[in-house]
Amino acid sequence: MAYSAQPAAITRDMTQALTARTALLLTIPPLLWAGNAVVGRLMTDTVPPITFNLLRWCLALVLLLPLAAWVLKPGSPLWTHWRRLAVLGLLGMGCYNALQYMALTTSSPLNVTLVAASTPIFMLGLGRLLFGAQISRQQWWGVALSGAGVVTVLTRGDWSQLLALRPVPGDLLMLLATAAWSLYSWLLTRPPANQPDPPALRGDWAGWLMAQMVPGLMWSALFTGMEWGLSPGAQITWGWPLAVALVYVALGPSLLAYYCWGRGVAAAGPQMAGFFINLTPLFAAVLSAAVLGELPQAFHGVAFALIVGGIVMASRR
């Protein structure tokens, strides 16, 4: 599961009313990220997970070069603000996506996206603990309603199955990934006083993403080297399935989703944006069902109503 297209030191309070445009911007990324989870699961036997993350961002960088090649030149903000960009690249590209692909080796796309739906809780907690953000009663009610929608999907509409659930290693890895993503989202809009946003990148979504992608690739390359060192039998099965998967994850979840997410976070704030992450498991359930040839069931509609209700509740003044 985040970059800011137009970073700002102070964001709007999450109780600001959502516009239709902002809601659409924040809905597109969960849909693309749900597809990313399904594709990541399909690729578990084709390519090692951390290597898949590295290949994803390498292709995304190549696709972004025509729009942001200037960032690689000497004297650009990439080199003068390298400390801040290194942290963002580590959390957003190096950790979150790699941990997600690792989680998919032992967990299902639905479970992975359901765990990621705990993002609003992490957003609220980290915001309060590290950034002094206030938490309203409506926000907590929003968490409760959206959480109920997540549980509805997890239990397939039968809450009596809740006590029988047992987390797998992938779920725990995804929990760690979600914490990294939440911190990343806050740091995008609340930079430390000694690490302000580079003025040259403000308003340039492609340049801002490229500036994070370069250090993110360095972290990913480091982690990939460790993966191959610890897994001597690892191998890559080259072919059209891997090529198609890479094109999708580079264009959709990487470029388009990051663009929309950044615009949405800038307009609504990281806390409000976090509630839209709860749409991801619903989309994942539908996409997984489509891949398996299964039609959506009634509980998907109930879950959708609860998740959207949580978003509406959290956005009320």
Q: What is the pLDDT of residues 269-284, one digit of tens each?
A: 776 776 787 788 888 8
In a domain, 248, yes or no: yes
The percent of residues in the chain predicted with pLDDT above 90, rounded, is: 34
Supply angle C-alpha 19, 96, 236, rounded to 5.
Answer: 125
Summarize the confidence of residues 301-310 as an average pLDDT.
79
pLDDT at 317: 58
Summarize the confidence of residues 46-51 as an average pLDDT.
95
Burial class (CB in 10 A: 0-12, 13-18, 19+), 281: buried
Q: What is the rounded CA–CA span in Å between residue 274 and residue 81?
A: 27
pLDDT at 165: 66
In a domain, 272, yes or no: yes
Q: Which of 55-69, 117-131, 256-270 has the highest mean pLDDT?
A: 55-69
Summarize the confidence of residues 177-203 as an average pLDDT.
78
pLDDT at 9: 37
| CB-based contacts of 245, cutoff 8 Å, min separation 6 | 39, 42, 43, 46
Q: What is the rounded CA–CA span in Å between residue 247 and residue 258?
A: 15
Summarize the confidence of residues 3-26 as an average pLDDT.
60
Q: What is the rounded CA–CA span in Å between residue 187 and residue 87?
A: 9
Domain count, the chain: 1
pLDDT at 10: 35
Q: What is the rounded CA–CA span in Å between residue 201 and residue 67?
A: 13
In a domain, 207, yes or no: yes
pLDDT at 11: 38
In a domain, 24, yes or no: yes
| Owner of token pair 């809780």 | 121
In a domain, 11, yes or no: no
Burial class (CB in 10 A: 0-12, 13-18, 19+), 83: exposed
- Of 47-51, 61-65, 93-97, 267-271, the poorest mean pLDDT is in 267-271
Summarize the confidence of residues 295-310 as an average pLDDT.
77
In a domain, 205, yes or no: yes
In a domain, 306, yes or no: yes
pLDDT at 195: 67
- The tokens of 150 are what? 């997540």
pLDDT at 281: 81
Answer with the residue of higher pLDDT: 161 or 217: 217
pLDDT digits (tens, 9 = 90+) for 145-175: 877 877 787 676 777 777 776 667 888 898 8
The domain of 166 spans 20-315
In a domain, 38, yes or no: yes
pTM: 0.81
Q: Which of 96-110, 215-229, 293-307 has the highest mean pLDDT?
A: 215-229
